[in-house]
Structure 1
Amino acid sequence: MKSIEINFDGLIGPIHNYAGLSPGNIASATNAGAVSQPRAAALQGLGKMRKLMDLGLVQGFFPPPRRPAIAALRALGFQGKDVEILSAAAREDPLLFNNICSASAMWAANAATVIASADSADGRVHFVTANLATMLHRSFEAVDTFAMLRRIFADESSFGVHPALPATQHFSDEGAANHMRLTPQHGTRGLNVFIHGAQRGSRFPERQARRAGEAVARLSGAPALHMLQSQRAIEAGAFHNDVVAVANEYVLLCHAEAFEDRDGLFAALAEAVPGFVPVEVDSITLDDAIRSYLFNSQLVTLPDGSMALILPSEAREHERVWTAVEAIVAGNNPIAQAIVVDVRESMRNGGGPACLRLRVPVTEAQRDAIDQRFLLDERRWEALCTLVDQHWPEQIAVSDLCLPELWENVGRAHDALDDLLTRI
């Protein structure tokens, strides 16, 4: 059955800021306290979406949840009108307040794990909402994400949308950032590879639990392989597998130190996936990979059947990394071209092109069952750009987060987006 893969990108929210809330994310920690540019960030993200549309790919988007997350504060006992709740939280618990102001839902790769209908037991596409239990600021996203997925993928004959797993360390789940699907082509049955961490005394949190991947496989009935992420990669700052590896159809592009049992993984994939092609890079260090986010690129199949690597501009600016990219494109593999995009505002907060998107493989009938307002065409893309240009703040300092005028402006931006979604 003919299938395509749709990239759904998170629209970067109007409160995009650099509060440095994510231990283990080196870029986030390095830029903590810097002045962010929400308008530029959102337009950069939309520019990347347009680039994929121009390549002939189908592109979707996820709207940002409302932030500050007032509902989360109410659940924690803060009372009164919205402005009273926010003022009290900012005054009484500044760290909690910064967490409920996070715009991290922009990284849609952490929204859910997606299982293709060709792999599932019931022939539906399955979404298992990520609980993001390891980080406080991200844990607030699960309820909003589940509701959003239910809205966009509402047709229960085509889609199965599951709530998040229990929000404990035993089921800590960071979504598709630790999941790879390898298959001869998008419409055929594939193997779902779940990459997890372990309690190994690492200096950074090992965020993905093996039990989470096992639960996702059971819920969907998908064939699965569970592999351990390299501790060296996590120690270097690869807080998700997609910082050191990316797969598309039968190709796996990865750093040579991405996996604890590299040989076992490659052998299993060679047996399970006809035509499996590993593209392993050992010419750059883990530090090079993490600073440039070479492997946090999107690897996509173009309409002509060739593959393209969608890279952040930081990879082009790093001499050793770009030499590695040129070798990849010139090598004996299906990756025919490297396309550079500017997502610098996202990169400064620790997320590259692959972080910004959730991959959703669908048949033609399943594509038609998606709420079409969230699939971009020229008109919808231009409407979103105009909205961002008119309503997103130009810049935000971390100290601005406690200003009532910012809350009001951000609220108006969300209202304008809600209104636009009724008209497009």
Structure 2
Amino acid sequence: MSAADISSVREVNFDGLVGPTHNYSGLAVGNVASMSHGGLVSNPKEGALQGLLKMKSLMDAGYAQGVLPPQQRPDIGALRDLGFSGSNSDVLARAAKEAPQLLRAVCSASSMWTANAGTMTPSMDVPDSRVHFTPANLQSSFHRYLEPQTTGRVLQAIFRDEQHFAHHPVLPATPAFSDEGAANHTRLCGEYGEPGVHLFVYGRQAFGDVRSGEREPTRFPARQTLEASQAVARQHGLTQEQTVFAQQHPDAIDAGVFHNDVIAVGNGPVLLYHEMAFLDEEGTLNELRAKMASPLIPVRVPLEAVSMEDAVASYLFNSQLLSNPDGTMTLVVPGECQEREAVWNTIQNHLLAGNNPISEVIVKDVKQSMRNGGGPACLRLRVVLKDAERAALTGRVLLTDTLYDDLTAWVNRHYRDRLAPDDLADPKLAEESLTALDELTQLLKIGSVYPFQLG
């Protein structure tokens, strides 16, 4: 690529819209925030508006911003597959009485965290010069296992042009190939248009002999397998010289770091990480340095500065790290970072005052998402695109002032401002959700992607 072509490549953050059934069910084992807030009353309208406001503010600051729709919830079809029968009202009522945990699962709005939607590889890194996508199977939890089919349809509807985009099948939904998407994947590079090195982080190995020195967590499950990460890399045509596979520190997983993006975030040449992010910290950094064309800029936060408890509670590392044209970087953190003195001091005295490109910190209120265990980084899927690839997108999914206004009005028309766990059995909620989603697909111009639209 020429210098002009390289400079035209941009990262687009595709944020997931918070769905109409956003609720606090405490479904995610190993996610401390999700488990601790289970049973509380949620505010779907506030959650969706908080997410949209974050998108709008980043768009206004000059960052490319996209939108992904939520899933169809409640997933009554899943309940029918599990033996509940009768009318939709009958199915919901029986599930609420006989298996309330299943009802909560099929109402989950967890697809808002599009960092888990899948893994993408930009066109400049692969032999066929197309952008590659693999939806994550999310098999480690039932409520997220329900997502991949619709996720795949949504991605194929938006990234439809086969000249520019390639889509791969979901990995087998078995423990051996447990895949949690881009929450465990980071592309590191100089400029976006330059070749990148892909850091895949896994929690356990399913087959063969465990690598020397490796061990697994004992309190919470490791969700990502080495085999899943390797399979995605093969699907996308990535070579050994382009990939680094590192084990997440098992003690971090046991402390509530269920995905790597809760303990590390990277962008461009910068890797911001906690001392406890990787089991083999030195080996991971050395392999990245050896394979990257541009110098790696590691920004290490020591345990003595930020405890594991503070890291998990504040989601400091689940922040968005955004590249600026002048070579500096902006860190978008949740408001909870200000509530922890050690974290806020680290941001001011270690990150902003340190010898690294991070020059600005923006604080955003995403409390509705945070209480379910997802910060700013969880809410977005990063897609690196050339000009021609952005022009080839289908639908109305790149945020503009007009689209922001339309989506805000849509949320205000259709969303409730209060949702308790008992409300999930209300058949009117299901009807409201379908009406809203049908209108949303027309608003975004992405066609029919939901089961109820496909017949």
- The count of residues paired between Structure 1 and Structure 2 equals 424
User: Could you list the runs of 4 or more consecutive aligned residues of structure 1 that deviate by over 4 angstroms after TM superposition?
Assistant: none
Say if 2:330 and 2:358, in contact at 8 Å, map to a contact too.
Answer: yes
> Secondary structure of the equivalent of 1:32?
coil
- Give the RMSD, CA atoms, in angstroms: 1.5
Q: Look up the match of 1:206.
A: 222
Per-residue deviation, 1:422:
4.2
Counterpart in 2 of 1:128? 134
Could you tell me whether the CA contact under 8 Å between 2:185 and 2:198 is conserved in 1? yes
Give the AA of the match of 1:414: L
**In 2, are the aligned partners of 1:112 and 1:128 still within 8 Å (CA)?**
yes
Q: Which AA in structure 2 matches 1:137?
A: H
Q: Which residue of 1 aligns with 2:338?
A: 316
Following superposition, the deviation at residue 201 of structure 1 comes to 4.8
Deviations 1:46-88 (A, max 9, x none): 0110111011011001000110012222333433433333233
- 1:179 is matched by which residue type in structure 2? H
Listed as ranges, the gaps of 5+ residues in structure 1 are none
SS, match of residue 125 in structure 2: coil
Structure 1 distance, partners of 2:446, 2:177, is 39
Q: Which moved more, 1:300-309 or 1:36-45?
A: 300-309
Specify the code of the residue in structure 2 equivalent to 1:231.
P
Aligned to 2:441: 418
The Cα of 1:305 is off from its aligned counterpart by: 3.2
Report the counterpart of residue 268 of structure 1 in structure 2: 287
Q: Which of 20, 23, 26 lines up with 2:26 in the alignment?
A: 20
The residue that corresponds to 1:248 in the other structure is: 267
* Separation in structure 1 between the aligned mates of residue 127 and residue 81 of structure 2, nearest angstrom: 37
Most deviating of 223-232 and 3-12: 223-232
Which sits farther off after the overlay, 119-128 or 256-265? 119-128
Give the residue type in structure 2 aligned to 1:281.
Answer: V
Matches within 5 A, 1:14-413: 14-198=20-204, 200-222=216-238, 223-273=242-292, 274-282=294-302, 283-326=305-348, 327-413=350-436
Structure-2 separation of matches of 1:201 and 1:150: 36
Aligned mates of 1:263, 1:281 — CA distance in 2: 14
TM-score by length of 2: 0.91
CA distance in 2, matches of 1:25, 1:423: 32
Deviation at 1:271, TM superposition (A): 1.6
Q: Name the CA distance, whole Å, in 1 between partners of 2:332 and 2:403.
A: 22
Gaps of 5+ in 2: 206-215, 448-455
Q: Distance in 1 between matches of 2:436 and 2:15?
A: 19
Q: Is the 8 A contact 2:395 2:445 kept in 1?
A: no
Query: What SS class does the counterpart of residue 123 from structure 2 fall into?
Result: coil
- CA shift for structure 1 position 423: 10
- Counterpart Cα distance in 2 of 1:397 and 1:171: 35
Q: Deviations over 1:259-286 (max 9, x none)?
A: 0000001111122222210000011111
Paired residue type of 1:277: I
**Separation in 2, partners of 1:205, 1:51:** 36
Superposed displacement of residue 372, structure 1:
4.1
Structure 1 CA distance, aligned partners of 2:298 and 2:191?
Answer: 15
Q: 2:436 is aligned with what amino acid?
A: A
* In structure 2, distance between residues paired with 1:332 and 1:77: 59
Give, in whole Å, the separation in 1 of the partners of 2:177 and 2:341.
Answer: 40
